[in-house]
Structure 1
């Protein structure tokens, strides 16, 4: 079967490689245009580099739904489209081109967490399980019938970045199973229960700010869910009996674990046996790794030695 891949972010890389090495014919990649950066630097979509390793034709239309782009897509003569983190909404005219349909790889167990940020939402929400789903694309957001899904437990200390990479790897064999079934004519689309749908919209950078009035468990999940982007952050204000002075600093919390509280106010940062511990609404978190603005990542103990006690403000 002839397959055209539409993807920009790295989530689709394992699936693209799997299709390229399978008995199916991967006829090309459609991805977002290269982006200009500072100076002479150009940002190339991760999927483009992956496709070039297999000498695949790469098509990078600024607008994929215009007439010229649709005509170029028809020239690929693909039987099916596989879509993963592409970055443009696909029109009904586009979806009608492949005779067997267009299918999206989504990083949740639909209908839970439809939308752009399902991995972050699963971790922040305290979910014990998530997975990857392949569904046929329809007009409504992530609402098409499901052709395959693979569930997996979320690790206790797993970050959004780590879970992203693991789900991407899970999606590869599942994609081949669905393509095989489509080719045989044995694929069975299953309607989603729309009454159970929840949503995980695109995140803004400001959502990384930590609310210290929440429980230690919620703060810990927030830190994991915001790693590596947009980063869980708070402003450190020096103060307290053991302060070493200095100016307020924006700090990104990279790794924490929960510990019992000691009655301190939420956000209060103290030295507990050489560890940096920050009080929460209930309980506290011990800081394992933190990155002050303009500085390298460091342990909580290193942070204490450099800045002393103080307070993190929401």
Structure 2
């Protein structure tokens, strides 16, 4: 098939590499333009340049000019992943087979920009990739292929996302081959089972110690590598010290079930904090402006006493 791939972020890169290595022809790679005060080339731009593929970065792929450009390529199929803009019907109509999208969740669960993070945040035991036929709705089209993957209870969202990305290309190729052969079997999504996965913001990182220890551990995992889970330690009358949590472990039952949430229960050799249910052991953390360190190293440099309270 003659393909145009639209993608911007790192999740799409492994799929692009597999498409290039397949029997299909990648006519062009479309990415969103670099943004920000110090714009950097997005991962898909870097990959396209490494693979010597034609690259195009329109401000919007839905303009009349962009749609006409897509039509001029005469693609059989648009392949979309981690692109950053919803394609309107006119753009999808340029290819006889329309567009397919690789999404990092078991749709209809977690429609939106952060499906992997929300799966970890909610403590799900499994997730996966879904390839859908694209429609006007957000991640709402019929499913063409599903690949289920267990979630390790200690892995971060970043690690899980990388595993899903590495597997996505195989699923996309299976769907493309089925479309080419006319054997694809679309399965309509159950709208009653749909849930949303909006992009996480920095505010999601603030730890509420009244929640149970497992929920806080999931928060730490889900917000790794960004925006990170954090708490604060009020040291005397000065400014509170922000502590970014990198790795944690659940201790249940708590050695002091009556302790107030956020209270430091142990401060050597391990760092143990009371929560709303159970206790949380902080294994690795990062004081503001410093590097990541394990709990023992932190406690050697900072005199955090038993009985101190973390949080607001």
Q: TM-score, length-normalised on structure 1?
A: 0.94
> What is the rounded CA distance, in whole Å, between the counterparts of 1:208 and 1:102 in structure 2?
35
- Alpha-carbon contact 2:12-2:44 (below 8 Å) kept: yes
Aligned to 2:290, the other structure's residue is in SS state: coil
> What is the rounded CA distance, in whole Å, between the counterparts of 1:266 and 1:250 in structure 2?
17
Aligned to 1:223, the other structure's residue is in SS state: helix
1:264 aligns with 2:259: yes
> Corresponding residue for 1:2?
2
Query: What does 1:227-246 correspond to in 2, within 5 Å?
Result: 227-238=224-235
> What is the rounded CA distance, in whole Å, between the counterparts of 2:78 and 2:241 in structure 1?
47
**More off after superposition, 103-112 vs 230-239:** 230-239
> Corresponding residue for 2:28?
28
Structure 2 stretches lacking a partner, 5+ long: none
- Alpha-carbon contact 1:129-1:151 (below 8 Å) kept: yes
> Corresponding residue for 1:305?
300
> What is the rounded CA distance, in whole Å, between the counterparts of 2:266 and 2:190 in structure 1?
50
Q: What displacement does 1:51 show? A: 1.0
Q: What displacement does 1:269 show? A: 2.3
> Corresponding residue for 1:275?
270
Q: What displacement does 1:224 show? A: 0.4
Query: What does 1:64-75 correspond to in 2, within 5 Å?
Result: 64-75=61-72
Query: What does 1:14-53 correspond to in 2, within 5 Å?
Result: 14-38=14-38, 42-53=39-50
- Alpha-carbon contact 1:105-1:135 (below 8 Å) kept: yes
1:249 to 241, 244, 264: 241
> What is the rounded CA distance, in whole Å, between the counterparts of 1:36 and 1:137 in structure 2?
29
> What is the rounded CA distance, in whole Å, between the counterparts of 2:37 and 2:145 in structure 1?
38
> What is the rounded CA distance, in whole Å, between the counterparts of 1:90 and 1:82 in structure 2?
11
Q: What displacement does 1:308 show? A: 2.2
The change in CA–CA distance for 1:212 and 1:36 in structure 2 (over 3 A counts) is closer
Cα deviation 1:190-212 (Å, max 9, x = unaligned) = 11111111111122211111111
> What is the rounded CA distance, in whole Å, between the counterparts of 2:310 and 2:267 in structure 1?
16
> What is the rounded CA distance, in whole Å, between the counterparts of 1:21 and 1:52 in structure 2?
15
Q: How many residues align?
A: 306
1:88 to 85, 88, 96: 85
1:223 aligns with 2:220: yes
> Corresponding residue for 2:112?
115
Cα deviation 1:87-129 (Å, max 9, x = unaligned) = 1121111011111110111110011111111111111111101
Query: What does 1:39-188 correspond to in 2, within 5 Å?
Result: 42-188=39-185
> Corresponding residue for 1:242?
none
Q: What displacement does 1:131 show? A: 0.3
1:291 to 261, 286, 289: 286
Structure 1 stretches lacking a partner, 5+ long: 240-244
Q: What displacement does 1:311 show? A: 2.2
The change in CA–CA distance for 1:96 and 1:160 in structure 2 (over 3 A counts) is same
> What is the rounded CA distance, in whole Å, between the counterparts of 1:207 and 1:258 in structure 2?
20
